[in-house]
Structure 1
Amino acid sequence: MRVAILDDEPAELRRVEQTLQQIADADGQVWSLHSFERGEDLLRQLRRETFDLLILDWQLPDLTGLALLRWTREHMEAPPAAIMLTSRDGENDIVQALNAGADDYVSKPFRPNELKARVAAVLRRHSQQRTASNEVLSINDLTFDDAELTVTREGKPIVMTEREYRLARCLFSNLGRPLSRDYLYERFWPHEEMASSRPLDTHIYRLRNKLGLTADRGWQLLTIYGYGYRLESVAGAAE
């Protein structure tokens, strides 16, 4: 679980981090927490990174949390869940944030147990919505079926393991976006397997071959040196 926290007060950032870490510890999960004191810094990361949850303060000196929330809803195909965490607690403020796409709204000073409960509820709803809305993805000659965890090309099944399927589905859901090794390991591998890069490289190699991720089929799976991978659609592929 990758979480971005935006607040221009360092003490508040630490308090949110501690609260979220308690959720991870209670569930025995590995959460990767990324804190930002400037909206522009988080926006820069959103252009190249993937997060599962955003916790956003409203009032910042540069780019406000509300403006950043609107950017994710307007420019990202699959925007992460988002909770506004702010001292602005007027009814009009809450309505404005929810209309902009916030999944929930928590007023400062927050109560840790309330924030934990709201985070859990938002992530649960978001997961259910993605499962319901993304059961089948068809792109070019490939069709991904989330219910069956299968891929077909023009109706013919492609044999894949569950991990291969989920990794491929993630790449295709983030076309054109660079995905870091850290993100892919955190999402698809147990913590004890994350030390080596070889399992990921091996899976990428298999996906290139099994799915035909080559320019003549309209795809380019790029290795970004020192960072990760990016899947791109190539125009002008042979029919």
Structure 2
Amino acid sequence: MNKLDSSDMDADSPPAPQKKTMSHEIFHRFSKVLLTSIIIFLLLLKIVFSIALITMFKKHSEVLDEKAITKELNYTELGCTKQHPLLKDKVWSCCPKDWKPFSSHCYFTATGSASWSGSEEKCSNMGAHLMVIHNQEEQDFITKILNPKAAYFIGLSDAGHRQWQWVDQTPYNESATFWHPGDPSSDNEQCVIINHRDTGWGWNDVLCSGKQKSVCQMKKIYL
């Protein structure tokens, strides 16, 4: 009997099948493409969902803000005037009853006396803040409705080292200030009142703990 040489067996052996290898590679590539497509789709879906969520949140916040303002005011009546006909979105500008309108704001002389922080709290409870004076016209308007024998806190205070700040974060503009001559006069007096002297109406720095009347201010309500 002839013995088979191992080399003959190897030579006669058929080549390894390629179909399985190619199928495996095609499947592997398809899986990678599919996985990448799914990831991209999920990312796009996330972006679209985020944009939709932000848009809904903004609209919802606007509605809540309007409701919150109405709730905080606790007034039964509004005094409204018709807006310029070119303003299509909002027809009426309104202030709560007994508040005085000027420009884009409403003003109210709070009853009673309190410290500066107590006065600001009073205004805050009405959806407002202590008055911020932006210019000469606003100063002249408000002083016409104040009692010259009284003093009124306004929304200006010293955060330290004579760094004056308005309560609504309006930048403090030294060219639009109305200090009495010689004021501000003391580092210990860190709150501001508006009062009348022989020279007319002006601002005076005083102790924050002192009790004074106050003027509240809020933005007009547009309907």
With structure 2 as the length reference, what TM-score do the two structures score? 0.29
- Larger Rg, first or second structure (1 or 2): 2
Task: Normalising by structure 1, report the TM-score.
Answer: 0.28
The structure richer in helix per residue is 1
